[in-house]
Amino acid sequence: MEDNMIKTQFCINKEAKDLAIYKEWNELMKQPGAMVGAVNQHLCRKYGVYATSTIWSIRKRVEKRLKKQEN
C-alpha cells in the first residue's frame, strides 16, 4: 500500500536529508578513533538538528526504510 502513496515535497526533502545523515554517520564512524558523541554533535551542527538523540532516531528510521525496500 505504501508503494502507491503520494509524497509531498516536504516528505521527499526529509527523506533525502535523513538518508544523507545516515550515510555520513556511517562514513564518519568508519574512521579510526571516531567517537559516537562527537560524530552526533558534528551532524547536529551541520544539519540543524537540536538533539543528538534525533540522530539515533533518524538512523533507525532510515535502516527500517532500507530494509523494507530490500524486501
- 3-class secondary structure, 13: helix
pLDDT reading at 55 higher than 70: yes
Domain count, the chain: 1
pLDDT bracket for residue 1 (50, 70, 90): very low
Cell 537540536 belongs to 50
- What mean pLDDT comes out for the span 22-30? 97
pTM over 0.75: yes
Q: What is the pLDDT of residue 2?
A: 56
Question: Average per-residue pLDDT in the chain?
Answer: 93
Structural domain including 42 reads 2-70
- 3-class secondary structure, 34: coil
Q: What is the pLDDT of residues 33-52, one digit of tens each?
A: 999 999 999 999 999 999 99
